[in-house]
Structure 1
Amino acid sequence: SQYVHRSRDEGKTWQIISPDLTTNRPEQQHLDYGGLTPDASGAEFYNCLLSIAPSPLDEQVIWTGSDDGRIHVTTDGGKNWTAVEKNIKGMPEGAWVARIIASEHEASTAWAVVNDYRRGNYAPYLFKTDDYGRSWTSRVEEESPVYGYSLSFIQDPEEPALCFLGTENGLWVSFDEGENWEVFGQGFPAVSTMDLKIQRAESALVIGTFGRAVWVVDDLLSLRELAGDRLGNGLTALPVNDAVQVKGLFIRPTGTIWNGFHTIFQGDNRPFWHTPIPYYISEVTPGAEVTAVVISAVGDTLQTLASTVWEETPMGPALVAADSGYAPAVGLHYLDWQLDQAITPLPRSWGSRGIAVLPGTYRVVIRYGEATDETTVTVLADPRYDFDPFVDRDLYQAQIYLNGRREQLMGLLETLDEQREKVDKLRTSLLESDNTVMLTHAETMLLKIDSIKHLALGKPVLKQVGAYQSFEVTPISTLRAMEQKFMSAHARLSDQELTLLREAARGVESFALLVDAYQRETWEPFVEEVKEMGVVWE
């Protein structure tokens, strides 16, 4: 329509509160050829309003933009309207006013997104006023790197210096309220960026594209700190979004969509059991590495964190663990925390995650050279489940107990591995001697150690169809069974599961007794025999 319509009863009835706010040219409002029945609003024709933007700060202020280059504002709720497009230097007459955005920071401020590509002009246009349209400034100058005609714009509601501009060729970001722009990369394609919205609860930028789906930038907290120039010298730990402690092994979309076309939801969910910890390096310290630890509310160190880097993966650009010795350059970086507490891993364990931490607030202390800074992460309970702090605490304590048995078992196996390594070196040195008695004893000892380890680990299984998994009940197998159970546990342990937990503990204790007997009855006499024969082997 060429008018502003207002409803005070949620759309049941409407009234016109403006005059015609377009050029109202009759020659642009007729049918050149037909077959279509015109809409009562005349929306098929030229001379229509494209954007209506009420001020979120003053209900009396309303902005409009039309498809034929008109921009109007009212400051009295629609009683009087003022045309302000003539005040914009550099705006092509009759250009398409794609968006008017009323500022959330000042009632007198608005932004106008203008394009003129329908007439062969592909330049980007973005204008800003701070005085109700009496004067305007261009926020995309000719020397700007912005490429493609303008389609969308948004200013961050929390940090006014942070702005985003969508064009036909991608997304651009400014950290100084449009004075300078740079392309927003990190995997976002050079695609028609049609609409931009900010999801306040998640501090996320939601991007609507033409033909390339919906994208979400879920770390506006860091960008706000950069735009607000709140970075320290050397190292700055940045704010972190709240993280949900997901229960279960996976998340999948709820059902399918467009069933008539036999298609399913193909979007990417945010990775769960992971939360990125952003930090900024403003000055490089040669030879310095980044280290970080997660600390509980009572001061216990729960986990050490690794830096991540952007790399190309089969699924596109993604954050992956950086190589050892990674030295960050100046800029924004991320650590990765799996919302877990470190554990002693079992051999051939699935994944690298430790014990899921309980909901609460945790400190992350980051060090880079001599610089230290910290931030906090608030871990929330999974909203899909009724959170019972007593059940979750019991599950957590059960995993702490299980990890104690895991540490005990791995300590015993580590001791056996060290002894095996010593004996193997001894056997190798004896191969070139004529001490066949000692060589035989060393080979027998290697077999003895391997047989004891097999009691804990199970015998190796041939990797062939139908025989790729051992069904032996061993201390490792019972510990792994409980480990897998805890990955998806969200209810109190059943009697059967408690029995399995006790069996796992008894299996480790029995193995510990066996190893203790071996140490007294086999290993210590063997060490004495080596000493008596004067063989140097350590």
Structure 2
Amino acid sequence: DRHTFGDMNPYVYKTTDFGKTWTRIAGPEQGLRGYAHVVKEDTVNPDLLFVGTEFGLWISNNGGKDWAQFKGGNFPNVAVRDMVVNPRNNDLVLATHGRGIWIIDDITPLRQLTDEVLQKEATFVEARPAVQRLEGQGGWVQGDALYVGDNPPEGAAITYYQRTRHLFGPIKLEILNADGRVVDTLPASKRRGLNRVMWSMRLGPPRVPRAAQLAGNSQQGPRVLPGTYTVRLTKGKEVYETKLTVGLDQRATFSAADRKLQFDAAMRVHKLFDDMSTLVDKINKDRAAANTLVETLPADDQVRKDLESFSAEAEKIRKKIVATKEGGAITGEERLREFTDQLYGAIMSYEGKPTAYQMERIDSLQRMLDDVTKDFQSFTTQQVPKLNQELKAKNLESIPE
């Protein structure tokens, strides 16, 4: 360090004979800027080196032959005075000028970027196992006098390397469960170098019938069960695969068996929403067909009156499923859809074993939906054939049965 003499160049030396001889491995020739404060060797890969200078962090993956400045996460050109590798989380912790702390999450991918890996067209890079962390609830408002850092990303990090930017053909990431079924599809980054994509570890949200009120709890799907999943990268005609382990939060007080019960309960309600949507779609389709035909007939036509009556009765059945007024409990118009959304939110709020009441409520709502389904099927079985005969006599399009 010669900055007090006006020399702002970094001087980093390496020895392989216990200090008998030294070789300079970092200087302006390698692209480093600013005098050096600290140099660290990775605790796992001895070829992975880190140098903190007055103007940032530089990394070498080949023992100091080549260096690159770290710019991830909008890391500024700030003095890096000290650093340490956290052996538990594989994080690189930086101490910057002004008593600041900057944490680079999971340097496991950097440890694997050997010259052999860098020559591959594309490959997955191993990351630490994903953990479904328990979400914190509540807390006091601290104003602007308290600083807290951002939480780590909630999802599972998927990291892959591309030697060149992907330009032609499709590229996508798929997540497959143990049965080989695709449970999620993610947008894949096309840029060269390391790419990191976050998977929410959730299934898709349920399909919810449209209504006058927002079903806020059903806007996300349940988290997948802990286990081993396959990540598939399709890059043009080439396919690459790796394994991803998803684990429970160690702070969880419930067992894996309880977690399975919660997932199964959430999926039952998920399917309840899907069945409900299918029924409402059918009701809306039949009503739309009837209303379209009404416009083609005179006001005093008996067939028109029959179609209007059919549409009105179908609407009464739809109102048993969804609310048609805004306001929810305020208007007193909470229906099967709204009750199901409340139950779904309660089950999703805790990933342990559902309560006996919640399980009984699923059965109760399922019976309610079954009853409405039977009512609509009985209604259409009686009315649609009769209407279609009347429509056929007038050479009009029939209502789908």
Distance 1:214 1:523, change over 3 A: farther
Equivalent residue number for residue 362 of structure 1: 229
Among 157, 160, 178, the residue aligned to 1:276: 157
Task: Determine if the alignment matches structure 1 residue 375 to structure 2 residue 242.
Answer: yes
Distance 1:217 1:508, change over 3 A: farther
Task: Determine if the alignment matches structure 1 residue 408 to structure 2 residue 290.
Answer: no
Matched AA of 2:149: G
Matched AA of 1:494: T
Deviation of 1:268 after TM superposition, in Å, equals: 0.9
Identity across the alignment (%): 22
Deviation of 1:262 after TM superposition, in Å, equals: 8.9
Name structure 1 gaps, 5 residues minimum: 1-114, 310-327
Among 181, 188, 194, the residue aligned to 1:332: 194
Deviation of 1:489 after TM superposition, in Å, equals: 1.4
Deviation of 1:233 after TM superposition, in Å, equals: 4.3
Distance 1:136 1:424, change over 3 A: farther
Matched AA of 1:498: M
Deviation of 1:448 after TM superposition, in Å, equals: 4.7
Give the distance between the partners of 1:411 and 1:205, measured in 2 at CA: 51
Task: Determine if the alignment matches structure 1 residue 241 to structure 2 residue 128.
Answer: yes
Give the distance between the partners of 1:510 and 1:140, measured in 2 at CA: 76
Distance 1:119 1:403, change over 3 A: same
Give the distance between the partners of 1:452 and 1:286, measured in 2 at CA: 52
Equivalent residue number for residue 264 of structure 1: 146
Deviation of 1:285 after TM superposition, in Å, equals: 5.2
Matched AA of 1:453: R
Task: Determine if the alignment matches structure 1 residue 225 to structure 2 residue 112.
Answer: yes
**Aligned 1:431-470 pairs, distance under 5 A:** 437=301, 447-461=312-326
CA contact (8 A) 1:173 1:181 kept: yes
Task: Determine if the alignment matches structure 1 residue 307 to structure 2 residue 181.
Answer: no
Among 53, 69, 86, the residue aligned to 1:167: 53
Distance 1:473 1:141, change over 3 A: same
CA contact (8 A) 2:35 2:54 kept: yes
Distance 1:228 1:509, change over 3 A: farther
Give the distance between the partners of 1:277 and 1:410, measured in 2 at CA: 34
Q: Which moved more, 1:228-237 or 1:148-157?
A: 228-237
CA contact (8 A) 1:153 1:164 kept: yes
Deviation of 1:216 after TM superposition, in Å, equals: 2.0
Q: Which has the higher contact order (CA 8 A, sep 6+)?
A: 2
Distance 1:179 1:501, change over 3 A: same
Equivalent residue number for residue 378 of structure 2: 517
Deviation of 1:138 after TM superposition, in Å, equals: 2.0
User: Could you tell me the TM-score, scaled by structure 1's length?
Assistant: 0.64
CA contact (8 A) 1:381 1:387 kept: no
Equivalent residue number for residue 35 of structure 2: 149
Distance 1:151 1:352, change over 3 A: farther
Equivalent residue number for residue 496 of structure 1: 357
User: Could you tell me the TM-score, scaled by structure 2's length?
Assistant: 0.84
Matched AA of 1:508: L
Deviation of 1:142 after TM superposition, in Å, equals: 2.4
Distance 1:141 1:469, change over 3 A: farther
Deviation of 1:447 after TM superposition, in Å, equals: 4.9
Equivalent residue number for residue 15 of structure 2: 129
Give the distance between the partners of 2:218 and 2:199, measured in 1 at CA: 14
Q: For 1:197, what is the secondary structure of its paired residue?
A: strand
Matched AA of 1:288: G
Equivalent residue number for residue 346 of structure 1: 208
Distance 1:377 1:141, change over 3 A: same
Task: Determine if the alignment matches structure 1 residue 207 to structure 2 residue 94.
Answer: yes
Give the distance between the partners of 2:284 and 2:390, measured in 1 at CA: 20
Give the distance between the partners of 2:138 and 2:121, measured in 1 at CA: 41
Largest Rg, 1 or 2 = 1
CA contact (8 A) 2:254 2:353 kept: no
Name structure 2 gaps, 5 residues minimum: 210-214
Deviation of 1:484 after TM superposition, in Å, equals: 1.0
Among 51, 58, 64, the residue aligned to 1:178: 64
CA RMSD of aligned residues (A): 3.3
CA contact (8 A) 2:169 2:235 kept: yes
1:90-147 deviations in whole A, cap 9, x for unaligned?
Answer: xxxxxxxxxxxxxxxxxxxxxxxxx222333222222211122222222223233322
CA contact (8 A) 2:109 2:125 kept: yes
Matched AA of 1:295: L
CA contact (8 A) 1:172 1:183 kept: yes
Equivalent residue number for residue 46 of structure 1: none
1:183-221 deviations in whole A, cap 9, x for unaligned?
Answer: 212221222222221122322212222237322222322
Deviation of 1:470 after TM superposition, in Å, equals: 5.9
Task: Determine if the alignment matches structure 1 residue 475 to structure 2 residue 361.
Answer: no
Equivalent residue number for residue 292 of structure 1: 173
CA contact (8 A) 1:170 1:183 kept: yes
Equivalent residue number for residue 508 of structure 1: 369
Matched AA of 1:188: F
Deviation of 1:442 after TM superposition, in Å, equals: 5.7
More helix by share: 2
Distance 1:285 1:384, change over 3 A: closer
CA contact (8 A) 2:208 2:274 kept: no
**Aligned 1:65-84 pairs, distance under 5 A:** none
Equivalent residue number for residue 119 of structure 1: 5
Equivalent residue number for residue 54 of structure 1: none
Matched AA of 1:504: L
1:239-295 deviations in whole A, cap 9, x for unaligned?
Answer: 2321222234x3679x99xx9x994341111122x1121122334554423323322
Give the distance between the partners of 2:9 and 2:205, measured in 1 at CA: 57
CA contact (8 A) 1:308 1:336 kept: no
Matched AA of 1:119: F
Among 262, 266, 269, the residue aligned to 1:399: 266
Give the distance between the partners of 1:277 and 1:495, measured in 2 at CA: 38
CA contact (8 A) 1:302 1:341 kept: no
Give the distance between the partners of 2:362 and 2:368, measured in 1 at CA: 10
Give the distance between the partners of 1:232 and 1:374, measured in 2 at CA: 18
